[in-house]
Amino acid sequence: MANSPALAPVYRVGELRQIEAVATGVPLMERAGAAAAEVARTIAGERGGAVLVLAGPGNNGGDALVVARILRDAFFDVVVVLRGDAARLPADAAAAHRAFVAAGGATVSDYPERFGGSLIIDGLFGIGLARPVAAADATLVERANASGIPILALDIPSGVNAETGVAMGTAIRARATATFIALKPGLLTGEAVDFCGDLTVHSLGLDPEATTPAHGHRLDWKSLASALPAVLGRRARNVHKGTFGTLGVVGGAEGMIGAPLLASRAALHAGAGKVLVGFVDDAHPAIDWGQPELMLRRASAVFDATPDVLVCGPGLGTGQPSKKIVAQAIATAVPLVLDADALNVIAADPTLSAGVAERRAPTIVTPHPAEAARLLGTTAADIQKDRLAAAQALAAKLNAAVVVKGAGSVLAYPDSRWDINATGNPGLSSAGTGDVLTGLIGAMLAQRIEPVAALRIAVCVHGAAADACIAAGKGPLGLVANELIPMARSLLNAC
């Protein structure tokens, strides 16, 4: 992507261990504790009072002990619950414990019967946890969650899987999470978005990309928008509608006419030069009175017009005519976006699936978890257990750029890169919003933006439009797909 934006890197747990191993001689635990203590002081300062620190048996507990020492030195009333045997702490955590005791601190072994302080600090378990929290620790988590006191999680809320974002049984519901070195995928997608609260990233003085270039990034609208003026190329005056491409949108079986219309309206408002809408249903309308600039026709006529980019799937249906249309779309030599029923048709036909993988022109697929499950021959629940792995598996299987939609939509590409989107809100949980996203992707491709950048921009502005609608008082309850379209246009033009 020209003028590539500075997106925040996201690292898997194994990569973070490598980064930590290279940082020999760097007092990471002291730096982590100091950074988290600043966040803690900001939160606790709102209410004053005591601070309860839950320190686990590993290095996450060591971070918590450093925080406890610093807060105690700053005259906070600190109560530390230390889980496990202090004599068996890892070396750095043991040193943090000794320093805390030497400064006059003491620990207790269980949650205080009556605690009414201003803050709880969760340092029970960090990014290495890959199993449900044991019963005794789960009781601590449950009491903390039920207290009504704000919780600050260190690195990741205890009980949340740092790789997948899955809450493994009982997990801390944090008001805020101070994460160290870099973001982890398990902070950004799936269940994690309801457990992490406000995220802050503390590099601890390291530059992880200097030693371990990131394969994953977090998408945020501010960063992407900074690169858009050059990418969209709207500064030139000597242009015409052909400059910005012709997009064909094919779908709209009986009873689902609205889906391709939503996608097409979104594409037109996002800058496509011309949009052709092809319907499976022969009884389609002759004109879209809400958007008369769209050119409506039968699906076969869209293929005959040889558009620069093709979108196939919104409201398509899964009958025999739809299967023929999907096969024809796959056989085209233009960039192709496959969505909705096109994905269901492909999932049911191994020949079509193989045809997608063999395409030479760019392909983008946009499944929700149930569609992703059909494509991979599994269940939606299994997709949600590891959304990143599912997106990567689909990218490899279909040789396509993929977005697995949902809270923290996951994007994956055939070259092993991946992204997690940080925009959007529950207002997107209504019919037609996926069709709008598909149209936005088609518009970016029609304007000759390369596929990775096109998918990034479309997914991110789609969520940002929903966020802007909420900020303007439209939703989240009752936000409808059509309202996203003008807001997305405004955000794109504001760049």
Report domain extents, the chain: 8-214, 222-493
What pLDDT, on the 0 to 100 scale, is given for residue 4?
Answer: 63
Q: In degrees rounded to 5, what are phi and psi of residue 161? A: -75, 125
Q: What is the pLDDT of residues 108-121, one digit of tens each?
A: 999 998 888 999 99
Q: What is the pLDDT of residues 331-348, one digit of tens each?
A: 999 999 999 999 999 999
Q: What is the pLDDT of residues 353-405, one digit of tens each?
A: 999 999 999 999 999 999 999 999 999 999 999 999 999 999 999 999 999 99
What pLDDT, on the 0 to 100 scale, is given for residue 1?
Answer: 47
Q: What is the pLDDT of residues 292-332, one digit of tens each?
A: 999 999 999 999 999 999 999 999 999 999 999 999 999 99
pLDDT at 2 over 60: no
- Report how far residue 314's alpha carbon sits from residue 263's, in angstroms, rounded to the nearest whole number: 7
In this structure, what token pair is assigned to residue 245?
């491409």
What pLDDT, on the 0 to 100 scale, is given for residue 3?
Answer: 47
What global pTM score does this model have? 0.96
What pLDDT, on the 0 to 100 scale, is given for residue 237?
Answer: 84
Q: Provide mean pLDDT across the span 415-441.
A: 97
The mean of the pLDDT values for the chain is 95
What pLDDT, on the 0 to 100 scale, is given for residue 84?
Answer: 87
Assigned CATH topology for domain 222-493? UDP-N-acetylmuramoyl-L-alanine:D-glutamate ligase (3.40.1190)
Q: Taking the CB of residue 89, how many other CB atoms lie within 10 A of it? A: 23
Q: What is the pLDDT of residues 60-70, one digit of tens each?
A: 999 999 999 99
Assigned CATH topology for domain 8-214? Rossmann fold (3.40.50)
Q: What is the pLDDT of residues 28-59, one digit of tens each?
A: 999 999 999 999 999 998 556 799 999 999 99
Find all residues with CB under 8 Å of 194, minimum gap 6, and list them: 173, 407
Find all residues with CB under 8 Å of 402, minimum gap 6, and list them: 364, 365, 366, 367, 391, 394, 395, 411, 412, 413
Q: What is the pLDDT of residues 144-174, one digit of tens each?
A: 999 999 999 999 999 999 999 999 999 999 9
